């Protein structure tokens, strides 16, 4: 895979596919982690004398122009982080984009409007996607893929454009791939995987693949109740995927046969309602009241998980342990994050809600070996899937 170090970009128009899909509230960015992650590659290209054209998506406007999904706030924040003006194009490949690109001088940066305002970006029709890719590629002479959070998507800006012009991987993607190889090909053991989040079905592939690779798998979050139910326990009104019970039982059986340790919570924070001010108590994991729902792992589970992370050499964590956005149900996630830090292992936080939790709960990001910008992409890589956006960069 070529990187930007292999490119001569001086005086050339370089299209950078970044991941700037940040959360917004009332038009304000609430977490700029992905923008910050894109800065090193853009800066390196500027210093090489490139005319940098950044493209990215935000949310799911489904091919329609929706002002609430505009990248305009991102352009302002990106400019602040770069310490340079970022010109914002009011469209993706239209008159504004073309005028903006033609006005760039060497070392200057422009950001195009939300890629997903164009139906061709996400189209499953190869011809429609290709027609949009032609127009996008025509804006530039070189392509740099740096949006790791989107490389598992067969989208025009990720998959089709690099097939049309010279291309290379940006620094962020190069780093992400190197980290993922440490989790799949060059693993230092003991290797622990912590999985949380709401649904077992979101993690089926990765659990299936890791049963032959990890030494222990720790399960928390909403998905844990399907595991507890599979063991015959009452889970009350907790999130439950009835259709996955047989699959989960099979995982538990296979893990025992393979000598992979499955670690489940021993206590749960169970509440009367999905609300921060609801009555809640710590109960045994096998004794959740029928009229309550679990919203976090309990304090003893936090200690247990930390103890199972101690002495490991590699840890991958994807998915919070509870509803961390509500303070009463944030303690399990906090305990796991601290457990990663205290383990002394090579620690990878797998993007998405896990990365948001680290920042929301006030942890120093540098205390972890790596915080991924792509939760879905990381999981699909660990499942052993081919990621379209990486495949084309390897050509």
In SS3 terms, 189-256 reads as: CCEEEEECCCCHHHHHHHHHHHCCCCCEEEECCCCHHHHHHHCCCCCCCCCCCHHHHHHHHHHHHHHH
Annotated binding site: 19-21, 34, 57-60, 116, 153, 203, 294, 325, 351-354
Asked about 34 being catalytic, the answer comes back as yes
Contact 107, 49 (CB under 8 A): yes
Examine the residue annotation and report whether 205 is marked as an active-site residue of this protein. Answer: no
pLDDT of 395 above 80: no
Return the structure tokens found at 368: 């972890």
Of the candidates 33, 120, 350, 376, the residue annotated as catalytic is 376
Q: Is the pLDDT of residue 172 over 90?
A: yes
* 202 vs 47, more confident: 47
Q: SS3 helix, strand, coil % of the chain, rounded to 5?
A: 45, 15, 40
Question: Is 352 annotated as catalytic?
Answer: yes
Strands 13-17 and 261-263 turn out to be unpaired
Annotated binding site for substrate: 19-21, 34, 57-60, 116, 153
Please give the CATH number for the structural domain made up of 13-175: 3.40.50.1260
| Annotation says 62 is catalytic | no
What pLDDT, on the 0 to 100 scale, is given for residue 352?
Answer: 77
pLDDT in tens, 243-286: 999 999 999 999 999 999 999 999 999 999 999 999 999 999 99
Q: For residue 379, which of 339, 322, 319 has the smallest C-alpha distance?
A: 319
Average confidence score pLDDT of the chain: 95
Beta bridge partners of 15: 53, 143
Of residues 58, 145, 38, the one with CA closest to residue 390: 145
Q: What pLDDT shows up at residue 200? A: 83
35-76 pLDDT, tens digit each = 999 999 999 999 999 999 999 999 999 999 999 999 999 999
Min mean pLDDT across 48-57, 111-120, 352-361 is at 352-361
Q: Which one from 66, 199, 249, 385 is the annotated catalytic residue? A: 199
Q: Of 186, 174, 183, 126, which is closest to residue 148 (Cα–Cα)?
A: 174
CATH 1.20.1260.10 fits 187-383, yes or no: no
Whether the per-residue pLDDT at 387 is higher than 80: the answer is: yes
Please state the residue numbers annotated as binding site for (2R)-3-phosphoglycerate.
Answer: 34, 116, 153
The one catalytic residue among 352, 374, 375, 389: 352
Catalytic hit among 34, 154, 229, 292: 34
**CA dist., res. 294 & res. 245, Å (int):** 18
Structural domain boundaries in the chain? 13-175, 187-383
The three-state secondary structure class of 172 is helix
Interval 22-34: pLDDT, tens: 999 888 999 898 9
Q: Which pLDDT tens digit goes with each residue over 288-323? A: 999 999 999 999 999 999 999 999 999 999 999 999
Which band of pLDDT confidence, cut at 50, 70 and 90, is reported for residue 100?
A: very high
pTM for this entry: 0.89
Residue list for the binding site for ATP:
203, 294, 325, 351-354
């Amino acid at each position: 895979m070529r990187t930007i170090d292999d490119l001569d970009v001086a005086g050339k128009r370089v299209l950078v596919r970044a991941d700037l899909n940040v959360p917004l509230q009332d038009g304000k960015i609430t977490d700029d982690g992905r923008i910050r992650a894109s800065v090193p590659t853009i800066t390196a290209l500027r210093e090489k004398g490139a005319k940098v054209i950044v493209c990215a998506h935000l949310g799911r406007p489904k091919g329609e122009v929706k002002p609430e999904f505009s990248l305009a706030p991102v352009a302002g924040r990106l400019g602040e982080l770069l310490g340079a003006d970022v010109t914002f194009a009011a469209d993706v490949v239209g008159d504004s984009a073309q005028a903006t690109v033609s006005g760039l001088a060497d070392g200057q940066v422009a950001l195009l409007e939300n890629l997903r305002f164009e139906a061709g970006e996400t189209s499953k029709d190869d011809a429609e996607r290709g027609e949009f890719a032609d127009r996008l590629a025509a804006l530039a002479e070189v392509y740099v893929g740096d949006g790791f959070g989107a490389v598992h998507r067969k989208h025009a800006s990720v998959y089709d454009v690099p097939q049309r012009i010279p291309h290379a991987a940006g620094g962020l993607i190069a780093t992400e791939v190197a980290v993922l190889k440490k989790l799949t090909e060059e693993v230092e053991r003991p290797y622990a995987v912590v999985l949380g989040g709401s649904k077992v079905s979101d993690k089926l592939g990765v659990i299936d693949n890791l049963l032959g690779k990890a030494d222990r798998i720790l399960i928390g979050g909403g998905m844990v109740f399907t595991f507890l139910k599979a063991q015959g326990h009452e889970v009350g009104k907790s999130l439950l995927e009835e259709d996955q019970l047989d699959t989960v039982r099979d995982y538990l059986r296979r893990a025992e046969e393979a000598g992979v340790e499955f670690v489940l919570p021993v206590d749960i924070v169970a509440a009367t309602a999905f609300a921060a001010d609801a009555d809640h108590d710590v109960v045994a994991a096998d004794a959740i009241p029928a009229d309550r729902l679990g919203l976090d792992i309990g304090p003893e589970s936090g200690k247990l998980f930390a103890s199972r992370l101690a002495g490991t050499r590699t840890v991958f964590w994807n998915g919070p342990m509870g509803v961390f956005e509500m303070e009463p149900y944030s303690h399990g996630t906090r305990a796991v994050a601290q457990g990663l830090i205290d383990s002394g292992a090579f620690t990878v936080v797998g993007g998405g809600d896990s990365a948001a939790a680290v920042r929301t709960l006030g942890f120093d990001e540098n205390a972890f070996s790596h915080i991924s910008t792509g939760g879905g992409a990381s999981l699909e890589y660990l499942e052993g899937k081919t990621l379209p956006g990486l495949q084309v960069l390897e050509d």
